[in-house]
Structures are given as structure tokens and as C-alpha cells.
Amino acid sequence: MRITFLGHASLSIEIEDVIILVDPFISGNPKASSIDVNELDADYILVTHAHQDHILDVETIAKRTEATIISNFEIVNYFQAKGLEGHPMNHGGNWDFEFGKLKYVNAIHTSSFPDGKYGGQPGGFIIEGERKTIYIAGDTALTMDMKLIPMHTRLDLAILPIGDNFTMGIEDAILASDFVKCDKILGYHFDTFGYIEIDHEMAKRKFFEQGKDLMLLDIGDSIEL
């Protein structure tokens, strides 16, 4: 499993020969100018919620690649009405896709489309594929629901928002890693805007002091699990 950071909360995940994009927000992010949205491949697009900084490039990419959009019922309906392929899910649901098992889990946030339409309830995803399991938290506050995750599965990586203000900050993300029982963390949803800028060295040090490994990738960089 190869995970590439595309800036903000956008990821590309390769599981064998399947490419999954998560919350593609590329063309509107000046920090991601090194990424050409027209060259991104995708078989599936996971969407955690309907805010613009998570769906901006979904339609463009899905039209070109014919990717299947996976999200909550309301978001998938929204994109299906535009003629795009989708697979609706809701909280607690599982589905076996060609890349592995996917579970849609709770997140605490808001969710509305840029035009104000209701975007359903926000969520996160647990992906089990290629004998690895990762948790993509989405935009969320710290929540006790995270403690349910290790009751079902053992995580190899937790991908957590750390920018604060709109989501968890560093301290709550450390607690979240305790809740999900995973000490290997990929941070995301940081630095894109002034509200969520962080001190990288301080963040890594705080995680390290708790016996945890926080990875902060440069845009375009990847890790292998």
C-alpha cells in the first residue's frame, strides 16, 4: 500500500493496481501547484464530507477517469445527479470492494455543499487492503467513538487532522491515537490556510514524547506500508 500526500486533506492511495483518491482539493490549493489535477488517476474517490476544500476536484476527476465516488448517501446522490458513478454508504456500514474492505465510520464536523445544500453527516473511512489497515479520520473533533475502532481491527496507520481550529489539534490528535491504539500517525489538514498553520517540529516532538511517530509529508511525497 502506497500513500501519497496531495496537500490539505487530499491523498492518493495505491493498493496493488487500484488507485483511490481521498477528498481531492488540488486546483484551489496554491500550495499544491506541483500537482496537476488533470494527470491524477483514480479508480475510486472517497469523500469524507461536502465542504469545498474536500470536493472541489471530485467532478472533474470523476468525469475524466470514470472513477466511482464513495461517500455518504447524500453526497453520492449529489454526484450521481451529475451523471457520475457512485456507491453510497452510511455510518457503521462495510462493503467489500476490489481493493479490500471499506468501513464508513463516525466523525464530528459539519457538512454542506458550497451552494448551501445539505451534505449529509461527515464521516471517516477504515480501509483494509493488501494485509494493511488504515484509518482516515476526515475532518473531526476528538470523539469517544474512536475507541470502537480497535474493537474491530488493528490499525497499521492512523491519518488524523492536526491543524486545529476546524478540527482536532495536536493534543487531541495524540489522544485520538491512544483511542484507536495506533502509534504511527500521518498528519493532514494543516498549513493550507492561516487558521490551521502549525509548528512542525513542535508537533513531531509532542507525539515523540508520547512514544508516537508523527509523519508530516511534503506535498507529492509518499510512504509505503
Helix 73-80 to helix 58-65 angle (10° resolution) is: 60
Report if pTM > 0.95.
yes
For residue 207, is it within any domain? yes
Reduced to 3 states (helix: H, G, I; strand: E, B; else coil), residue 148 is helix
Residue 63's φ and ψ, nearest 5 degrees, are -65, -40
Q: What three-state secondary structure class fits 195?
A: helix
Mean pLDDT of the chain: 98
Residue 63 lies in a domain: yes
Asked if the structure places residue 6 within a domain, the reply is yes
Q: Give the domain extent around 140.
A: 2-220
**Quick check: is 225 in a domain?**
no
Determine the pLDDT at residue 214. Answer: 98
Cβ neighbours for 17, distance < 8 A, ≥ 6 positions apart: none
Q: Is there a domain that residue 20 lies in?
A: yes
CB-based burial of residue 148 (10 Å sphere; 0-12 exposed, 13-18 middle, 19+ buried)?
middle
C-alpha cell at 52: 469545498
Q: What is the pLDDT of residues 78-108, one digit of tens each?
A: 999 999 999 999 999 999 999 999 999 999 9
Give how many domains the chain has, as a whole number.
Answer: 1
Within-domain flag for 202: yes
Q: What is the DSSP string of 50-108?
A: --HHHHTTHHHHHHHH-PEEEEEHHHHHHHHTTT--EEEE-TT-EEEETTEEEEEEE--
Q: Place 190 in a pLDDT band, splitting at 50, 70 and 90.
A: very high
Place of cell 494493511: 132
CATH value at residue 191: 3.60.15.10
